[in-house]
Amino acid sequence: MTSEEGNVSVSFLPCATAKLLNVHLHAAIRDTIFEDCHMDSPRQVKNLNREPKRTPNRPSNPPQKDAYARLLSQHSSSKFTQYLEQYAKDTAFPREANWPSPLVKAQSDRQNIPQKQRDQVHNDFSDSSDFSPSSIKSKGEESSLSLYMEKLSTRTAQQDFERKQGVSDRQRCGQRRDTATSQDGDVESAGTSGQEQEKMKKSKKKKAHSRQPEEDRSGEGPFQSGVYTPMSRQKFPSASCANSPADKGKTRGPRASKRPVFEPYMTLEEVSHGLKRGELIQGKLRINPKKYHEGFIPSPDDGRDIFLDGIVARNRALNDDIVVVRILPREQWKVVRSDTEYEGTSESDTQKESMGPTVQKKTTERTPRPAGIEDDQCSDQDELIRQLQNPTLTDTEIGEHLEDPSTPRPNGEILQKTAKVVYIVEKKHSRAVTGFLKFLTDKPFAMLSPVDHRVPRINVLLDDCPEDFRYRSADYTNTLFICRITNWPADSNFAEGQLAKMLGQAGEIEPETEGILLEYGVDLSEFSDEVLNCLPKNLPWTIPAEEMSKRRDLRKECIFTIDPSTARDLDDALSCKQLPDGNFEVGVHIADVSYFLEEDNALDLIASHRATSVYMVQKVIPMLPRLLCEELCSLNPRTDRLTFSVIWTITPEGKILSEWFGRSVICSCVKLSYDHAQSMIEAPEKMFTAEELPLVHHLHPIDEIHEAVLNLHFIAKNLRAQRVTGGALRLEQLKLSFTLDKETMMPQGCYIYQYRDSNKLVEEFMLLANIATAHHIHKRFPQLALLRRHPPPKAKMMDELQELCDQLGINMDLSSAGALNKSLNTSLGDDNYTAARKEVLTHMCSRPMQMALYFCTGVHKDVQLFKHYALNVPLYTHFTSPIRRYADIVVHRLLASSLGCGPSLGLSTEEVEKRASHCNDRKTVSKRVQDLSSELFFGVFVKDCGPLESEAMVMGVLDQSFDVLVLSYRVQKRIYCKSVVGLDSFRHRKVGKTSELTLVWTAKDRETTPVEQVISIFTLVEVQLKADGAPMKYSAVLKRPEENKSDNKMC
């Protein structure tokens, strides 16, 4: 029989049995209906009353039967209905008051059932076809309904209690097992199979500090106001189950208590005390983009980074947030093999983690999913239990028990601290997310699936979506949206957000570019009228006579710029004049941007907020209005411009005899590109014609400019030699550049940017000017100087790198920056692949390096901390690019004040440090956006011109994958062994610090044997770059080793 609601009715059973079965079967059916309506979730088995872990001295209830799970998932089967009817008929007999209940009888019968018969009962429920009258057991055996009724008996007391407390069925059906993170880092909902439940039971640990995962309803919690729609103040409705008319207007009892997924944050006072006592640690969170459940913060002792495992440990913090963490107990720390050999983007790729005496379980490493495509889902409860109670699981099955972490471990294994977030100091992440909208049936909200899987999925109110989305959601399948996270409740794994903008179609450069900029918080807005009102009004602008009288007039000197051919913001110029005594007067002239920026006016505030210009492949997002950065401040040729100059008297060998700083006026005589300067350097005797160069000022013949370039080149080589001898280091990594169609701005070709002598010439004098300025402002403002420091690399990682190089037979001295530089420039062979080997080794050496940082000298008392490791100089700053860097503007103001040609800096030590910190953040963002733009354009190039074939060199080897440097394009790609077509098997071997993969290729025919290919660092392989199905994505496909190399296909 079937009720009007579509549920199975069992009213024909004996009264007590029928009532009990009706109540609980309806609850089970509602549970499954809810699971069907929930996003992307297969039906789940409700197990809200999990059994505690058994101990020898503690009795426990019988374990749950999988038959019950299958019964719930198949309750709507017509054969199951017939089965209930048959059971009712067979059990319909008069009951006396003193007769035992059928439930009690079923339990007592169970005590005498042989194991084989119980196993048969388990197997009989493998398919819905088993639910038939013929499958009923005899009275002496256990039936499937007996198991079910037994299960119901264990739940009756609690459900009756909940009803007495006013907990409605609707509230109960809303409870579900929430998720943590899937392999690709997304928050997902999924069912838990019987096998997975068994794994959970085996892996659970009881720890005093652990919190159980929450059973919640996704999408609940306040929805904060925003700007996209009038519905911004509406709260998210409960997502527990489908709306029922019968429930509307009812006065409900108290809401069922739910355990939070995330621990509550500590108070600011608790955090402050904890940091002072050393119980807590503060740092910037870094999330691995390739393994999204892995997070790290720097260790305060400069040792191995502290590991955070999963979304629960991160406690709603996002990438780049400044967080406070509590270190977990030692038994939960991770056992690390050797992460020096290769770490990809974090320290975790080659790590083995400890579970104490627990056997590790195996998970499979997968290729990250393309944008907008959802992967198979993992078990919600498994993931939550793994993260809350066993935060030290590994990706590799070792099949044995790990020893106690406190004892010495073989093969140099060491412990890595693990932690959990207890407080977010500053939300550095913009909370803007690019992604795709997915319509959810019977839900008042849609789901945004982020392109960046390090952020959670986001529930967005349907009223916030395009008007026709709920009716024509398929039309938006490939549409990119930008969404801002407005709330992330502690009892939900899903954030809440508001759509900010519909960007356009995925795969198109402009929507993708805008998404990158918005997601990283780059200010795209036009400058306001208030800002523009700070600019000079009378155009064309000329230098006032009063200002001219205050400056050194250098307009008749031979001064010129050397920049990329496409540059429009020219902020540095050079001059070189030979003196009668054979020495040279060399000048570096920098645009005087601070003249146009009055401190603390609207223009200065927006410049300090943007902090840097952002350079992308096809455009620039300027820090200043274009009137300044391209006109009034840019040192354009044949135009009078205000500058800050530093002029040295210097010997041909590069020894500085005197130095002068001051404000000046120049008139550049020509705008040279790096190509122009390079051609002059390579042809010192050539007489260049006017047609070969840009227009030159009539006061300075081409020969004079040519001679100045040659003299600068000669001095620069000597300066560089002095720096190298003094212990400087340069980790040079080649980058990809593009040629664009002038109309469409689409990539027509790509090439490796060459760093040549002309680039080195400019760099050398910019370094000299920055070093000189740093010493000058620090001497006069020891508490206010804004400098730039570069901390030394992490010692432990350098030690491990040294061991690795020794094992590889590479003679490397990592004792200092100078020793490292000398080692890198030592020949790594004498063949066509020497440069490639050097680049791979450079990449390995760059991982232990720390970022260079702006800082205020008054904050750090130890002068030794001021040192710049790579340059090997005690003081350094940025002075030479004020058009595109706000830090340089602060330095210019300090310099002007020190020279008496400008007002005192109106900032305190703390305010300078705050500006410095903000500049650090924006510089990091700018670099990341620039890299993403390059990746975007190369993805388009591969799609339009691919597949592209190239040799590649192995950069690092993991247990199931390896990374390669594609030599023709200098891009890095990871190749997953399980995705290689034609591969029969593979095996991993680790010898000391090095890893090695042996790939076994399937034989082409019966007459040939399988081909083995050994993959290790520096191995050469053939790859093919092919566009993926997802927009802008491409992958490297490994070719069989015996295949002949073919020519690269180029556009």
* 930-951: burial string, b at 16+ Cβ within 10 Å, e else: bebbbbbbbbbbbbebbebbbb
Contact 746, 1049 (CB under 8 A): no
Q: Report the candidate in 420, 409, 223, 165 with the shortest Cα–Cα distance to residue 312.
A: 420
Tell me how far apart the alpha carbons of residues 499 and 228 are, in angstroms, rounded to a whole number.
6
Measured in residues, the chain has a length of 1051
The CA-atom distances, in angstroms, between 20 and each of 28, 29, 108 are 12, 14, 19
Q: Which two tokens stand for residue 1004?
A: 């082409």
Rounded distance between C-alpha atoms, residue 168 and residue 150, angstroms: 23
* pLDDT score at 421: 96
**Residue written as tokens 């496909």?**
1037
Using an 8 Å Cβ cutoff, are 392 and 332 in contact? yes
The label of the residue with tokens 């900029």 reads: 517
How far apart, in whole angstroms, are the C-alpha atoms of residue 88 and residue 131?
14
**pLDDT, position 90:** 54
Among residues 905, 874, 903, 868, which one has the least CA distance to residue 890?
Answer: 905
Tracing tokens 């502290």 back to the chain, one arrives at 306
Side-chain-side CA neighbours of residue 75 (13 Å): 26
Element (H, E) at 658: strand 656-667
Instruction: For Cα atoms 878, 884, 890, give the angle at the middle one, nearest 5 degrees.
Output: 45
The pLDDT assigned to 35 comes to 39
Angle of helix 674-682 versus helix 702-725 axis, rounded to 10: 90
Residue reference for tokens 């639910």: 131
531 DSSP assignment: H
* Tens of pLDDT, residues 676-700: 999 999 999 999 999 999 999 989 9
How far apart are alpha carbons 1029 and 1038 in whole angstroms?
Answer: 18
Distance between CA atoms of residues 524 and 517, nearest Å: 8
Given a contact cutoff of 8 angstroms between Cβ atoms, the answer to whether 458 and 497 are in contact is: yes
Residues with pLDDT less than 70, the chain: 1-258, 337-413, 827-830, 1043-1051
DSSP reduced 3-state for 903: coil
Query: Which pLDDT score is estimated for 742?
Result: 86
Measured CA distances, 381 to 182, 199, 291, 364, 387 (Å)? 11, 11, 20, 18, 10
Is the bond preceding residue 56 a cis peptide, omega within 30 degrees? no
Rounded distance, CA 903 to CA 595, Å?
11
Strand partners, 621: 614
Alpha-carbon gap, residue 653 to 252, rounded angstroms = 87
How is residue 928 written in tokens? 């990341």
Q: What is the pLDDT at residue 879?
A: 98
Task: Record the tokens describing residue 559, joined without a space.
Answer: 């001064």
575 in helix, strand or coil?
Answer: strand
- In this structure, what token pair is assigned to residue 859? 């904050």
Mention every residue, 6+ apart, whose C-beta is less than 8 A from residue 267: none
Whole-number Å distance between alpha carbons of 683 and 92: 108
**Could you tell me which residues come within 8 angstroms of residue 648 by beta carbon, excluding any fewer than 6 positions away?**
585, 586, 587, 656, 657, 658, 659, 660, 768, 772
Q: Are 352 and 336 in contact (CB under 8 A)?
A: yes
Letter for the amino acid at 50?
A: R
Strand-strand pairing, 458-461 and 495-505: parallel
